[in-house]
Amino acid sequence: MTYKALQSGLRSLQLEIFGAFHTAPEDNAPSGTKTLLLLGPYEPGFWPHFTASPEYLDGAADPLDRWSKRIITPWANSQNASAIFPSDGPSFAPFIQWAKNSGRAWGSPVGLLVHDVAGLFVSYRAAVALHVQIDLPNTGQNPCITCSKPCLTACPVNALTGEYDVARCKSHLNTPTGKACMETGCLVRTACPAGHSYGRLPQQSAFHMAAFNPDDPTPDPDTPR
């Protein structure tokens, strides 16, 4: 079992390794874990792949979570590993700490996690707990170090200035000028140059925004919730 072989198998499922690390007891990984993989969408192409799936098309709740479980659980089992999902809980697995442990994600100036490749659009579909220690590639570099920090001024209502003011954000989203965030994604996340080359589509962001703000008074009929 090698990192490259695992990555290749995951990419064929439109998934990517967003980070990996060798676990220690204090990491709260499942018993017997030696290496933890963190999985995210593989771009470009994730959105058209997912929107052709039965989970997206059946109109039932939580299509992305259901797709993730259907695809990732059997793949993990095929590696004699187990899959852990961010939505499993309570108690929920410490994905943010795991992300930081991977050396490929950091706390950003706006408080959200930022990833070396996906920027502020980072999202983890699952973790996979391997019972073997595999060699891992070098980690990335924190993109904030050399950045002019457009994230700090991108929110029109200053809802993300270190501590996320969710109420302020949602009140803006439900006004006509909030449509920009609802239709193409959070302007703070969009402003982050670290994720610009990773191929995230506006439709994908609109899907997540609809899930985040189901009270949108004028929802897009083509975006499932």
Closest alpha carbon to 79 in 27, 28, 3, 135: 3
CB of 109 to ligand SF4, least distance (A): 5
Please state, in angstroms and rounded to a whole number, the distance separating the CA atoms of residues 112 and 2: 31
Identity of residue 64: L
Options 17, 114, 127, 206; binder of ligand SF4; rule CB under 6 A:
114
The helix/strand/coil state of 98 is: helix
Is 20 a binding residue for ligand SF4 by CB under 6 A? The answer is: no
Options 13, 96, 134, 144; binder of ligand SF4; rule CB under 6 A:
144
Please state, in angstroms and rounded to a whole number, the distance separating the CA atoms of residues 4 and 148: 34
Shorter beta-carbon distance to ligand SF4: residue 115 or 125: 115
Options 159, 205, 207, 224; binder of ligand SF4; rule CB under 6 A:
159
Please state, in angstroms and rounded to a whole number, the distance separating the CA atoms of residues 195 and 203: 16
Shorter beta-carbon distance to ligand SF4: residue 9 or 111: 111
One symbol per residue from 118 to 137: x for binding ligand SF4 (CB under 6 A), - otherwise; what is it? -xx-----------------
Within its chain, how far is the Cα of 13 from the centroid? 16
Question: Assign residue 80 a region: left if phi > 0, alpha if psi is -120 to 50, beta otherwise?
Answer: left
Q: Are 140 and 177 in contact (CB under 8 A)?
A: no
Is 150 a binding residue for ligand SF4 by CB under 6 A? The answer is: yes
Q: Are 27 and 101 in contact (CB under 8 A)?
A: yes
Is 113 a binding residue for ligand SF4 by CB under 6 A? The answer is: no
Question: What phi, psi does 173 have (nearest 5°)?
Answer: -60, -30
CB of 124 to ligand SF4, least distance (A): 17
Options 76, 130, 169, 206; binder of ligand SF4; rule CB under 6 A:
169
Contacting positions for ligand SF4 (CB under 6 A): 108-109, 114, 119-120, 143-144, 147, 149-151, 155, 157, 159-160, 169, 172-173, 181, 186-188, 191-192, 194
